[in-house]
Structure 1
Amino acid sequence: MLDRLAAAIVRHCVGLGSETAVPRLFLAAVEEPIEPIDVLYEPMICFVASGVKRTTAGELKQVAQPGEMHLTTIDLPVTIELDQVPYRAAVMQPDDQALTELLVELDESGQTAPLTAGGQLHAPMTPELVDAVTRWVQLLDTPEDIRPLATRIESEILYRLLRSSLGPVLRQWSLADSATTRVRKVARWICAHYTEPLSIDAIAAAAHMSPASLHRHFKAATGMSPLKYQKHLRMQEARRRLLAGHATVAQIAQAVGYVSATQFNREYRSAYGLPPGQDAARLRTRHTHNRTATPWRA
Protein backbone atom coordinates (compact mmCIF):
# COMPACT_ATOMS: atom_id res chain seq x y z
CA MET A 1 0.00 0.00 0.00
CA LEU A 2 2.86 2.40 0.74
CA ASP A 3 4.31 1.68 -2.71
CA ARG A 4 1.05 2.86 -4.31
CA LEU A 5 1.12 6.05 -2.27
CA ALA A 6 4.79 6.69 -3.07
CA ALA A 7 4.17 6.15 -6.79
CA ALA A 8 1.26 8.59 -6.80
CA ILE A 9 3.39 11.21 -5.03
CA VAL A 10 6.24 10.88 -7.53
CA ARG A 11 3.88 11.26 -10.49
CA HIS A 12 2.74 14.67 -9.36
CA CYS A 13 5.51 16.22 -7.25
CA VAL A 14 7.39 19.05 -8.96
CA GLY A 15 10.96 19.50 -7.71
CA LEU A 16 11.60 18.56 -4.10
CA GLY A 17 8.19 19.76 -3.03
CA SER A 18 5.10 21.32 -4.56
CA GLU A 19 1.58 22.55 -4.04
CA THR A 20 -1.14 20.61 -5.87
CA ALA A 21 -4.54 21.19 -7.43
CA VAL A 22 -6.10 19.35 -4.47
CA PRO A 23 -6.80 21.91 -1.74
CA ARG A 24 -4.56 21.61 1.35
CA LEU A 25 -2.40 18.87 -0.25
CA PHE A 26 1.37 19.32 -0.58
CA LEU A 27 3.78 16.69 -1.95
CA ALA A 28 7.47 16.01 -1.35
CA ALA A 29 9.82 13.72 -3.26
CA VAL A 30 13.59 13.67 -2.72
CA GLU A 31 15.78 11.26 -4.66
CA GLU A 32 19.27 11.95 -3.27
CA PRO A 33 20.73 13.04 0.08
CA ILE A 34 20.51 16.79 0.68
CA GLU A 35 21.87 19.26 3.19
CA PRO A 36 19.81 19.82 6.36
CA ILE A 37 17.06 22.37 5.69
CA ASP A 38 15.84 25.08 8.08
CA VAL A 39 12.12 25.72 7.65
CA LEU A 40 9.15 27.16 9.49
CA TYR A 41 6.55 24.42 9.74
CA GLU A 42 2.91 25.41 9.70
CA PRO A 43 0.32 23.18 11.42
CA MET A 44 0.14 20.05 9.28
CA ILE A 45 0.04 16.27 9.11
CA CYS A 46 2.81 14.59 7.11
CA PHE A 47 2.16 11.06 5.79
CA VAL A 48 5.48 9.35 5.04
CA ALA A 49 5.40 6.76 2.25
CA SER A 50 9.16 6.12 2.01
CA GLY A 51 12.44 7.37 3.44
CA VAL A 52 13.20 8.55 6.97
CA LYS A 53 12.87 12.16 8.11
CA ARG A 54 14.40 13.62 11.27
CA THR A 55 13.25 16.99 12.61
CA THR A 56 14.81 19.05 15.38
CA ALA A 57 13.03 21.90 17.16
CA GLY A 58 14.93 23.20 20.15
CA GLU A 59 15.24 20.26 22.55
CA LEU A 60 12.63 18.18 20.69
CA LYS A 61 13.61 15.59 18.11
CA GLN A 62 11.25 13.47 16.00
CA VAL A 63 11.94 10.68 13.51
CA ALA A 64 9.26 9.73 10.98
CA GLN A 65 9.56 6.29 9.35
CA PRO A 66 7.74 4.89 6.30
CA GLY A 67 4.13 4.19 7.20
CA GLU A 68 4.09 6.83 9.94
CA MET A 69 2.35 10.17 10.19
CA HIS A 70 3.89 13.26 11.75
CA LEU A 71 1.55 15.85 13.29
CA THR A 72 2.69 19.43 13.89
CA THR A 73 0.14 21.50 15.80
CA ILE A 74 1.96 24.83 15.83
CA ASP A 75 4.07 27.15 13.68
CA LEU A 76 7.48 25.73 14.43
CA PRO A 77 11.03 26.57 13.25
CA VAL A 78 12.70 23.22 12.63
CA THR A 79 15.75 21.68 11.00
CA ILE A 80 14.95 18.78 8.66
CA GLU A 81 17.39 15.98 7.88
CA LEU A 82 16.66 13.01 5.65
CA ASP A 83 18.28 9.91 7.10
CA GLN A 84 17.12 7.70 4.21
CA VAL A 85 16.16 8.45 0.61
CA PRO A 86 14.26 8.29 -1.62
CA TYR A 87 11.83 10.24 0.52
CA ARG A 88 8.14 10.48 -0.38
CA ALA A 89 5.48 12.25 1.66
CA ALA A 90 2.00 13.72 1.32
CA VAL A 91 1.14 16.63 3.59
CA MET A 92 -2.28 17.80 4.75
CA GLN A 93 -2.94 21.22 6.18
CA PRO A 94 -6.02 20.45 8.29
CA ASP A 95 -9.09 22.58 7.71
CA ASP A 96 -10.23 23.89 11.12
CA GLN A 97 -13.83 24.27 10.01
CA ALA A 98 -13.99 20.80 8.46
CA LEU A 99 -12.54 19.28 11.64
CA THR A 100 -15.02 21.13 13.85
CA GLU A 101 -17.97 20.14 11.67
CA LEU A 102 -16.89 16.49 11.74
CA LEU A 103 -16.62 16.53 15.53
CA VAL A 104 -20.13 18.01 15.76
CA GLU A 105 -21.44 15.33 13.41
CA LEU A 106 -19.79 12.65 15.54
CA ASP A 107 -21.15 14.35 18.68
CA GLU A 108 -17.62 14.68 20.04
CA SER A 109 -17.19 18.47 20.00
CA GLY A 110 -17.68 18.67 23.75
CA GLN A 111 -15.40 15.81 24.74
CA THR A 112 -12.64 16.64 27.16
CA ALA A 113 -9.17 16.01 25.78
CA PRO A 114 -6.00 15.64 27.86
CA LEU A 115 -4.42 19.00 28.65
CA THR A 116 -1.35 18.97 26.44
CA ALA A 117 0.33 21.46 24.16
CA GLY A 118 2.52 18.94 22.35
CA GLY A 119 3.76 20.58 19.16
CA GLN A 120 5.00 17.46 17.32
CA LEU A 121 3.75 13.90 17.54
CA HIS A 122 4.02 10.85 15.33
CA ALA A 123 2.12 7.59 15.07
CA PRO A 124 1.70 4.66 12.68
CA MET A 125 -0.85 4.89 9.88
CA THR A 126 -3.54 2.21 9.70
CA PRO A 127 -4.09 0.43 6.35
CA GLU A 128 -7.42 2.27 6.05
CA LEU A 129 -5.70 5.62 6.48
CA VAL A 130 -2.97 4.79 3.95
CA ASP A 131 -5.70 3.82 1.47
CA ALA A 132 -7.60 7.08 2.02
CA VAL A 133 -4.46 9.24 1.65
CA THR A 134 -3.50 7.32 -1.51
CA ARG A 135 -6.92 7.92 -3.05
CA TRP A 136 -6.63 11.60 -2.10
CA VAL A 137 -3.30 11.94 -3.94
CA GLN A 138 -4.55 9.84 -6.89
CA LEU A 139 -7.23 12.45 -7.56
CA LEU A 140 -4.42 14.31 -9.32
CA ASP A 141 -4.53 11.57 -11.99
CA THR A 142 -8.11 12.57 -12.84
CA PRO A 143 -8.43 16.33 -12.29
CA GLU A 144 -12.14 16.28 -13.12
CA ASP A 145 -12.68 14.26 -9.93
CA ILE A 146 -10.99 16.75 -7.61
CA ARG A 147 -13.93 19.12 -7.11
CA PRO A 148 -16.62 16.49 -6.35
CA LEU A 149 -14.43 14.07 -4.37
CA ALA A 150 -11.55 15.91 -2.67
CA THR A 151 -13.50 17.24 0.31
CA ARG A 152 -15.20 13.86 0.82
CA ILE A 153 -11.88 11.98 0.93
CA GLU A 154 -10.38 14.70 3.13
CA SER A 155 -13.27 14.23 5.56
CA GLU A 156 -12.61 10.48 5.59
CA ILE A 157 -8.94 11.11 6.37
CA LEU A 158 -9.87 13.42 9.26
CA TYR A 159 -12.31 10.80 10.56
CA ARG A 160 -9.63 8.10 10.54
CA LEU A 161 -7.17 10.48 12.20
CA LEU A 162 -9.69 11.12 14.98
CA ARG A 163 -9.89 7.37 15.51
CA SER A 164 -6.09 7.10 15.72
CA SER A 165 -3.76 7.81 18.63
CA LEU A 166 -3.56 11.41 17.36
CA GLY A 167 -7.30 11.85 17.94
CA PRO A 168 -7.08 13.50 21.41
CA VAL A 169 -4.71 16.18 20.15
CA LEU A 170 -6.85 16.84 17.06
CA ARG A 171 -9.89 17.28 19.30
CA GLN A 172 -8.00 19.93 21.23
CA TRP A 173 -7.17 21.57 17.90
CA SER A 174 -10.81 22.62 17.52
CA LEU A 175 -11.30 23.83 21.10
CA ALA A 176 -11.08 27.61 21.43
CA ASP A 177 -9.75 27.47 24.99
CA SER A 178 -7.41 24.48 24.93
CA ALA A 179 -3.71 24.64 25.78
CA THR A 180 -2.94 23.67 22.18
CA THR A 181 -4.97 26.58 20.78
CA ARG A 182 -3.56 29.12 23.21
CA VAL A 183 0.05 28.17 22.52
CA ARG A 184 -0.63 28.11 18.76
CA LYS A 185 -1.95 31.70 18.97
CA VAL A 186 1.10 32.81 20.93
CA ALA A 187 3.44 31.21 18.39
CA ARG A 188 1.63 32.91 15.52
CA TRP A 189 1.84 36.25 17.30
CA ILE A 190 5.59 35.83 17.73
CA CYS A 191 5.94 34.82 14.07
CA ALA A 192 4.13 38.00 13.02
CA HIS A 193 6.17 40.23 15.37
CA TYR A 194 9.51 38.42 15.60
CA THR A 195 11.53 41.57 14.82
CA GLU A 196 10.05 43.40 17.82
CA PRO A 197 11.10 43.27 21.49
CA LEU A 198 9.28 40.39 23.17
CA SER A 199 7.36 40.91 26.44
CA ILE A 200 6.52 37.56 28.06
CA ASP A 201 4.08 39.27 30.46
CA ALA A 202 2.20 40.87 27.57
CA ILE A 203 1.82 37.74 25.46
CA ALA A 204 0.93 35.67 28.55
CA ALA A 205 -1.84 38.12 29.38
CA ALA A 206 -3.12 38.03 25.79
CA ALA A 207 -3.19 34.21 25.99
CA HIS A 208 -4.94 34.32 29.39
CA MET A 209 -2.09 32.36 30.96
CA SER A 210 0.37 33.14 33.71
CA PRO A 211 3.96 33.70 32.52
CA ALA A 212 5.01 30.45 34.24
CA SER A 213 2.18 28.47 32.63
CA LEU A 214 2.90 29.99 29.22
CA HIS A 215 6.60 29.11 29.50
CA ARG A 216 5.81 25.51 30.54
CA HIS A 217 3.25 24.84 27.81
CA PHE A 218 5.22 26.69 25.14
CA LYS A 219 8.41 24.74 25.84
CA ALA A 220 6.47 21.47 25.85
CA ALA A 221 5.09 22.31 22.40
CA THR A 222 8.17 23.79 20.76
CA GLY A 223 11.19 22.48 22.66
CA MET A 224 12.27 26.04 23.45
CA SER A 225 11.29 29.11 25.44
CA PRO A 226 9.40 31.97 23.69
CA LEU A 227 12.63 34.00 23.57
CA LYS A 228 14.60 31.15 21.99
CA TYR A 229 11.70 30.56 19.58
CA GLN A 230 11.94 34.21 18.51
CA LYS A 231 15.71 33.86 18.06
CA HIS A 232 15.26 30.79 15.85
CA LEU A 233 12.83 32.74 13.66
CA ARG A 234 15.31 35.61 13.38
CA MET A 235 18.18 33.27 12.51
CA GLN A 236 16.16 31.42 9.84
CA GLU A 237 15.08 34.66 8.19
CA ALA A 238 18.59 36.10 8.38
CA ARG A 239 20.01 32.98 6.74
CA ARG A 240 17.41 33.16 3.98
CA ARG A 241 18.28 36.80 3.29
CA LEU A 242 22.00 36.09 3.35
CA LEU A 243 21.54 33.34 0.80
CA ALA A 244 19.57 35.71 -1.44
CA GLY A 245 22.56 38.06 -1.32
CA HIS A 246 20.65 41.35 -1.67
CA ALA A 247 21.83 43.06 1.55
CA THR A 248 24.83 43.41 3.82
CA VAL A 249 25.20 41.53 7.09
CA ALA A 250 24.57 44.74 9.03
CA GLN A 251 21.42 45.48 7.06
CA ILE A 252 20.11 41.96 7.60
CA ALA A 253 20.85 42.11 11.33
CA GLN A 254 18.77 45.27 11.61
CA ALA A 255 16.00 43.87 9.40
CA VAL A 256 15.47 40.83 11.65
CA GLY A 257 15.39 42.87 14.83
CA TYR A 258 18.96 43.22 16.12
CA VAL A 259 20.17 46.59 17.37
CA SER A 260 23.72 45.28 17.78
CA ALA A 261 25.45 43.75 14.76
CA THR A 262 28.00 42.23 17.15
CA GLN A 263 25.29 40.38 19.04
CA PHE A 264 23.80 39.21 15.74
CA ASN A 265 27.14 37.85 14.54
CA ARG A 266 27.73 36.07 17.84
CA GLU A 267 24.27 34.44 17.90
CA TYR A 268 24.45 33.53 14.21
CA ARG A 269 27.78 31.80 14.68
CA SER A 270 26.41 29.98 17.73
CA ALA A 271 23.42 28.77 15.69
CA TYR A 272 25.20 27.74 12.47
CA GLY A 273 28.88 27.31 13.35
CA LEU A 274 30.21 30.02 11.03
CA PRO A 275 30.07 33.83 10.79
CA PRO A 276 27.19 35.04 8.56
CA GLY A 277 29.31 35.86 5.50
CA GLN A 278 31.18 32.53 5.51
CA ASP A 279 28.01 30.56 6.08
CA ALA A 280 26.28 32.30 3.18
CA ALA A 281 29.19 31.50 0.86
CA ARG A 282 29.09 27.84 1.90
CA LEU A 283 25.34 27.67 1.38
CA ARG A 284 25.54 29.13 -2.11
CA THR A 285 27.94 26.42 -3.22
CA ARG A 286 26.26 23.47 -1.50
CA HIS A 287 22.55 24.25 -1.34
CA THR A 288 21.81 25.21 -4.92
CA HIS A 289 20.19 21.84 -5.66
CA ASN A 290 18.05 22.06 -2.49
CA ARG A 291 15.96 25.02 -3.63
CA THR A 292 12.34 24.44 -4.46
CA ALA A 293 9.72 26.49 -6.26
CA THR A 294 7.52 26.50 -3.14
CA PRO A 295 8.35 26.49 0.59
CA TRP A 296 9.31 23.09 1.95
CA ARG A 297 6.58 21.71 4.21
CA ALA A 298 7.17 17.97 4.39
Structure 2
Amino acid sequence: MKQNINKALHAAIDGPEIQRLKVYGHHWNVKPANILRREGSKVTIEGQIDHSVLVMNDDHLFYKFVFENGELKKREINIEAGGWSQIAEFITDSIEVLGFPVPPDKIEEIGDKLDTMQNGEWKVDIQRLALRIALAAYKRMHGITAYTKSNFKGTSQTFTPGVYEADDFWTVGNDRITSIKVPPRMKVLVCRHRPGEGKPEECKVYTKDTNRLDREVMGVSYLSVEDRDNPSRALVIDGTEAMRTEYVVEIIEGSGWIRKNVRQGSVQASDKIFNDWTTARGVVDGGKDAYTFTGKLKKVTLTGDKKNIVVSIDGGPKPALV
Protein backbone atom coordinates (compact mmCIF):
# COMPACT_ATOMS: atom_id res chain seq x y z
CA MET A 1 0.00 0.00 0.00
CA LYS A 2 2.87 2.37 0.77
CA GLN A 3 3.92 2.42 -2.87
CA ASN A 4 0.42 3.35 -4.04
CA ILE A 5 0.12 6.07 -1.42
CA ASN A 6 3.36 7.58 -2.72
CA LYS A 7 1.95 7.44 -6.25
CA ALA A 8 -1.15 9.30 -5.08
CA LEU A 9 0.92 11.99 -3.36
CA HIS A 10 3.10 12.38 -6.45
CA ALA A 11 0.05 12.71 -8.72
CA ALA A 12 -1.51 15.38 -6.51
CA ILE A 13 1.65 17.45 -6.08
CA ASP A 14 3.55 16.93 -9.35
CA GLY A 15 0.99 15.43 -11.75
CA PRO A 16 -0.11 13.95 -14.02
CA GLU A 17 -3.47 12.57 -12.90
CA ILE A 18 -3.49 8.91 -11.94
CA GLN A 19 -6.65 6.81 -12.33
CA ARG A 20 -8.02 3.73 -10.63
CA LEU A 21 -5.31 3.73 -7.97
CA LYS A 22 -6.14 1.41 -5.09
CA VAL A 23 -5.45 2.84 -1.63
CA TYR A 24 -7.17 1.96 1.65
CA GLY A 25 -9.20 -0.68 -0.16
CA HIS A 26 -10.84 1.68 -2.69
CA HIS A 27 -10.01 2.98 -6.17
CA TRP A 28 -9.33 6.69 -6.64
CA ASN A 29 -8.67 9.11 -9.47
CA VAL A 30 -6.13 11.57 -8.04
CA LYS A 31 -5.87 14.87 -9.90
CA PRO A 32 -3.02 17.41 -9.70
CA ALA A 33 -3.73 20.12 -7.14
CA ASN A 34 -5.37 23.27 -8.48
CA ILE A 35 -3.49 25.39 -5.95
CA LEU A 36 -0.19 24.64 -4.21
CA ARG A 37 1.25 27.86 -2.86
CA ARG A 38 3.50 29.14 -0.10
CA GLU A 39 3.39 32.71 1.19
CA GLY A 40 5.80 33.11 4.10
CA SER A 41 4.77 30.57 6.74
CA LYS A 42 1.38 30.01 5.06
CA VAL A 43 0.85 27.01 2.76
CA THR A 44 -2.36 26.47 0.78
CA ILE A 45 -3.30 23.35 -1.16
CA GLU A 46 -6.58 22.86 -2.99
CA GLY A 47 -7.61 19.97 -5.24
CA GLN A 48 -9.88 17.05 -6.08
CA ILE A 49 -10.02 13.27 -5.62
CA ASP A 50 -12.63 11.03 -7.24
CA HIS A 51 -13.96 7.78 -5.83
CA SER A 52 -13.88 5.59 -8.92
CA VAL A 53 -16.81 3.16 -9.18
CA LEU A 54 -17.01 1.21 -12.47
CA VAL A 55 -20.78 0.71 -12.64
CA MET A 56 -21.78 4.12 -11.27
CA ASN A 57 -20.85 7.75 -11.63
CA ASP A 58 -17.76 8.71 -9.69
CA ASP A 59 -18.07 10.40 -6.31
CA HIS A 60 -16.06 13.59 -5.95
CA LEU A 61 -14.19 15.13 -3.04
CA PHE A 62 -13.02 18.75 -3.17
CA TYR A 63 -10.50 19.75 -0.51
CA LYS A 64 -8.75 22.89 0.69
CA PHE A 65 -6.18 22.99 3.50
CA VAL A 66 -4.34 26.02 4.84
CA PHE A 67 -1.35 25.67 7.18
CA GLU A 68 0.23 28.54 9.10
CA ASN A 69 3.30 28.17 11.32
CA GLY A 70 2.91 24.41 11.32
CA GLU A 71 -0.74 24.44 12.36
CA LEU A 72 -3.71 23.46 10.20
CA LYS A 73 -5.72 26.68 10.30
CA LYS A 74 -8.38 25.95 7.70
CA ARG A 75 -9.89 22.77 6.25
CA GLU A 76 -12.70 22.47 3.75
CA ILE A 77 -13.91 19.02 2.72
CA ASN A 78 -16.88 18.73 0.38
CA ILE A 79 -18.08 15.40 -0.97
CA GLU A 80 -20.36 15.29 -3.99
CA ALA A 81 -22.28 12.03 -3.81
CA GLY A 82 -25.74 12.58 -5.20
CA GLY A 83 -25.72 16.12 -3.83
CA TRP A 84 -23.42 18.25 -1.71
CA SER A 85 -22.68 17.22 1.83
CA GLN A 86 -20.15 18.46 4.38
CA ILE A 87 -18.16 15.59 5.91
CA ALA A 88 -15.61 16.77 8.45
CA GLU A 89 -15.78 14.37 11.39
CA PHE A 90 -12.76 12.31 10.36
CA ILE A 91 -10.62 15.35 9.64
CA THR A 92 -11.53 16.93 12.96
CA ASP A 93 -10.69 13.75 14.87
CA SER A 94 -7.44 13.33 12.97
CA ILE A 95 -6.14 16.76 13.92
CA GLU A 96 -6.04 15.67 17.55
CA VAL A 97 -4.15 12.52 16.55
CA LEU A 98 -1.61 14.56 14.58
CA GLY A 99 -0.72 16.81 17.49
CA PHE A 100 -0.22 20.05 15.54
CA PRO A 101 1.87 22.11 15.25
CA VAL A 102 4.35 19.71 13.69
CA PRO A 103 7.77 20.20 12.10
CA PRO A 104 8.02 19.17 8.43
CA ASP A 105 10.43 16.33 9.21
CA LYS A 106 7.71 14.59 11.26
CA ILE A 107 5.29 14.27 8.34
CA GLU A 108 6.27 10.70 7.46
CA GLU A 109 5.69 9.57 11.03
CA ILE A 110 2.28 11.26 11.07
CA GLY A 111 1.39 9.77 7.70
CA ASP A 112 2.22 6.30 8.99
CA LYS A 113 -0.21 6.84 11.88
CA LEU A 114 -2.96 7.88 9.49
CA ASP A 115 -2.34 4.85 7.28
CA THR A 116 -2.87 2.45 10.18
CA MET A 117 -6.23 3.94 11.16
CA GLN A 118 -8.89 1.41 10.18
CA ASN A 119 -12.32 2.19 8.76
CA GLY A 120 -13.24 0.97 5.28
CA GLU A 121 -16.02 3.48 4.62
CA TRP A 122 -15.09 5.30 1.43
CA LYS A 123 -16.22 8.70 2.70
CA VAL A 124 -13.79 8.39 5.59
CA ASP A 125 -10.96 6.91 3.55
CA ILE A 126 -11.15 9.58 0.86
CA GLN A 127 -10.77 12.22 3.59
CA ARG A 128 -7.80 10.33 4.96
CA LEU A 129 -6.16 10.39 1.52
CA ALA A 130 -6.90 14.12 1.15
CA LEU A 131 -5.25 14.81 4.50
CA ARG A 132 -2.20 12.73 3.48
CA ILE A 133 -1.92 14.82 0.31
CA ALA A 134 -2.19 18.04 2.33
CA LEU A 135 0.54 16.94 4.72
CA ALA A 136 2.82 15.94 1.85
CA ALA A 137 2.24 19.32 0.21
CA TYR A 138 3.03 21.11 3.47
CA LYS A 139 6.28 19.15 3.71
CA ARG A 140 7.12 19.83 0.05
CA MET A 141 6.72 23.57 0.56
CA HIS A 142 9.10 23.43 3.54
CA GLY A 143 11.82 21.41 1.87
CA ILE A 144 13.66 20.95 -1.39
CA THR A 145 13.00 17.97 -3.66
CA ALA A 146 15.88 16.31 -5.46
CA TYR A 147 15.48 14.19 -8.62
CA THR A 148 17.81 11.66 -10.22
CA LYS A 149 17.11 12.92 -13.74
CA SER A 150 16.99 16.35 -15.33
CA ASN A 151 13.70 18.24 -15.72
CA PHE A 152 12.45 16.91 -12.36
CA LYS A 153 12.12 13.32 -13.48
CA GLY A 154 13.29 10.00 -12.12
CA THR A 155 13.34 9.00 -8.48
CA SER A 156 12.79 11.86 -6.01
CA GLN A 157 13.37 12.62 -2.34
CA THR A 158 12.29 15.64 -0.29
CA PHE A 159 14.74 17.12 2.22
CA THR A 160 13.41 19.37 4.99
CA PRO A 161 15.72 21.90 6.72
CA GLY A 162 18.92 20.26 7.88
CA VAL A 163 22.25 18.91 6.72
CA TYR A 164 22.44 15.70 4.68
CA GLU A 165 25.30 13.54 3.48
CA ALA A 166 25.48 10.49 1.22
CA ASP A 167 24.15 8.08 3.84
CA ASP A 168 20.97 10.18 4.07
CA PHE A 169 20.20 9.92 0.34
CA TRP A 170 18.04 6.84 0.92
CA THR A 171 15.91 7.22 -2.20
CA VAL A 172 17.92 9.25 -4.69
CA GLY A 173 21.31 7.69 -3.90
CA ASN A 174 24.77 9.23 -3.71
CA ASP A 175 26.13 11.10 -6.76
CA ARG A 176 22.80 10.78 -8.62
CA ILE A 177 20.97 14.07 -7.96
CA THR A 178 20.54 15.91 -11.25
CA SER A 179 17.72 18.46 -10.76
CA ILE A 180 16.04 20.12 -7.78
CA LYS A 181 12.83 21.94 -6.93
CA VAL A 182 13.24 24.77 -4.43
CA PRO A 183 9.95 26.34 -3.20
CA PRO A 184 9.66 30.02 -2.23
CA ARG A 185 11.49 30.95 1.00
CA MET A 186 13.77 27.88 0.78
CA LYS A 187 17.42 27.61 -0.20
CA VAL A 188 19.91 24.77 -0.46
CA LEU A 189 23.69 24.54 -0.51
CA VAL A 190 24.61 21.74 -2.95
CA CYS A 191 28.13 20.27 -2.81
CA ARG A 192 30.07 17.47 -4.46
CA HIS A 193 31.89 16.92 -1.16
CA ARG A 194 31.47 17.97 2.45
CA PRO A 195 32.39 21.69 2.70
CA GLY A 196 36.05 22.06 3.57
CA GLU A 197 37.05 18.82 1.86
CA GLY A 198 36.64 19.77 -1.79
CA LYS A 199 37.40 22.80 -3.90
CA PRO A 200 35.37 25.98 -3.15
CA GLU A 201 33.84 25.94 -6.62
CA GLU A 202 32.33 22.51 -5.92
CA CYS A 203 29.50 24.05 -3.87
CA LYS A 204 26.65 26.24 -5.02
CA VAL A 205 23.55 27.81 -3.42
CA TYR A 206 20.20 27.41 -5.21
CA THR A 207 17.06 29.41 -4.35
CA LYS A 208 14.80 28.37 -7.23
CA ASP A 209 13.89 25.33 -9.32
CA THR A 210 16.78 24.11 -11.44
CA ASN A 211 16.05 21.54 -14.15
CA ARG A 212 19.72 20.58 -14.40
CA LEU A 213 22.40 21.27 -11.80
CA ASP A 214 25.53 23.12 -12.79
CA ARG A 215 28.42 20.95 -13.88
CA GLU A 216 30.66 21.81 -10.92
CA VAL A 217 28.24 20.26 -8.41
CA MET A 218 27.22 17.19 -10.40
CA GLY A 219 27.89 14.15 -8.24
CA VAL A 220 26.15 15.57 -5.18
CA SER A 221 27.07 14.06 -1.82
CA TYR A 222 26.16 16.92 0.55
CA LEU A 223 23.08 19.14 0.99
CA SER A 224 22.38 21.89 3.51
CA VAL A 225 18.71 22.92 3.37
CA GLU A 226 17.48 26.11 4.98
CA ASP A 227 14.09 27.76 5.42
CA ARG A 228 14.60 31.51 5.05
CA ASP A 229 11.68 32.16 7.42
CA ASN A 230 13.61 30.20 10.06
CA PRO A 231 17.25 30.86 9.13
CA SER A 232 20.13 28.87 10.55
CA ARG A 233 22.58 30.35 13.03
CA ALA A 234 26.16 29.46 13.96
CA LEU A 235 27.04 28.56 17.56
CA VAL A 236 30.74 28.36 18.41
CA ILE A 237 32.18 26.94 21.64
CA ASP A 238 35.71 28.36 21.84
CA GLY A 239 37.97 26.52 24.23
CA THR A 240 41.25 27.76 22.77
CA GLU A 241 42.34 29.23 26.12
CA ALA A 242 40.62 26.60 28.27
CA MET A 243 41.39 23.26 29.76
CA ARG A 244 39.15 20.27 28.98
CA THR A 245 35.48 21.29 29.19
CA GLU A 246 32.38 19.25 28.40
CA TYR A 247 29.28 20.87 26.93
CA VAL A 248 25.66 20.13 26.10
CA VAL A 249 23.70 22.29 23.64
CA GLU A 250 19.91 21.91 23.58
CA ILE A 251 17.35 23.24 21.09
CA ILE A 252 13.70 23.48 22.13
CA GLU A 253 12.04 20.37 20.71
CA GLY A 254 9.90 21.06 17.66
CA SER A 255 11.43 24.49 17.00
CA GLY A 256 14.39 23.41 14.86
CA TRP A 257 17.49 21.23 14.60
CA ILE A 258 21.22 21.29 15.31
CA ARG A 259 24.01 19.98 13.06
CA LYS A 260 27.81 19.96 13.13
CA ASN A 261 29.49 22.98 11.51
CA VAL A 262 32.86 21.92 10.12
CA ARG A 263 33.50 25.32 8.59
CA GLN A 264 33.79 27.20 11.88
CA GLY A 265 34.99 24.53 14.27
CA SER A 266 36.88 21.27 14.51
CA VAL A 267 34.05 18.97 15.56
CA GLN A 268 35.38 15.47 16.29
CA ALA A 269 33.71 12.10 15.85
CA SER A 270 33.31 11.92 19.63
CA ASP A 271 31.05 14.99 19.55
CA LYS A 272 27.56 13.61 19.08
CA ILE A 273 24.03 14.79 18.25
CA PHE A 274 21.10 13.18 20.07
CA ASN A 275 17.36 13.41 20.73
CA ASP A 276 16.18 13.68 17.15
CA TRP A 277 18.73 16.38 16.21
CA THR A 278 17.90 18.70 19.12
CA THR A 279 20.88 18.05 21.45
CA ALA A 280 24.64 18.20 20.87
CA ARG A 281 27.16 16.86 23.39
CA GLY A 282 30.95 17.10 23.18
CA VAL A 283 34.28 18.25 24.59
CA VAL A 284 36.66 21.13 23.84
CA ASP A 285 40.28 21.05 25.01
CA GLY A 286 42.35 23.85 23.53
CA GLY A 287 40.21 24.17 20.35
CA LYS A 288 36.82 25.17 18.96
CA ASP A 289 33.65 23.22 18.26
CA ALA A 290 30.89 24.70 16.12
CA TYR A 291 27.31 23.90 15.22
CA THR A 292 24.61 25.23 12.93
CA PHE A 293 21.12 25.37 14.38
CA THR A 294 17.62 26.65 13.67
CA GLY A 295 14.74 27.32 16.03
CA LYS A 296 15.07 28.37 19.66
CA LEU A 297 18.12 27.67 21.80
CA LYS A 298 17.06 26.15 25.13
CA LYS A 299 20.39 26.20 26.96
CA VAL A 300 24.13 25.48 26.82
CA THR A 301 25.53 23.57 29.79
CA LEU A 302 29.28 23.66 30.50
CA THR A 303 31.23 21.36 32.85
CA GLY A 304 34.91 22.04 33.50
CA ASP A 305 36.97 25.17 32.83
CA LYS A 306 33.90 27.36 32.32
CA LYS A 307 35.69 30.67 33.01
CA ASN A 308 37.88 30.40 29.92
CA ILE A 309 35.22 29.14 27.51
CA VAL A 310 33.70 31.63 25.06
CA VAL A 311 30.28 30.72 23.60
CA SER A 312 29.00 32.88 20.76
CA ILE A 313 26.11 32.91 18.30
CA ASP A 314 26.77 34.40 14.86
CA GLY A 315 29.91 36.00 16.30
CA GLY A 316 27.95 37.80 18.99
CA PRO A 317 28.45 37.76 22.76
CA LYS A 318 27.92 34.79 25.05
CA PRO A 319 24.21 33.86 25.09
CA ALA A 320 22.34 34.29 28.37
CA LEU A 321 21.23 30.65 28.28
CA VAL A 322 24.75 29.38 29.10
- Shared fold (TM-score greater than 0.5)? no
Larger Rg: 2
Q: Which has the higher helix share?
A: 1
**TM-score tier after normalising by the smaller chain length:** under 0.3
Please report the TM-score for the alignment, with normalisation by the length of structure 2: 0.24
> What TM-score comes out, normalization by structure 1 length?
0.25
Identify the structure with the greater strand proportion: 2
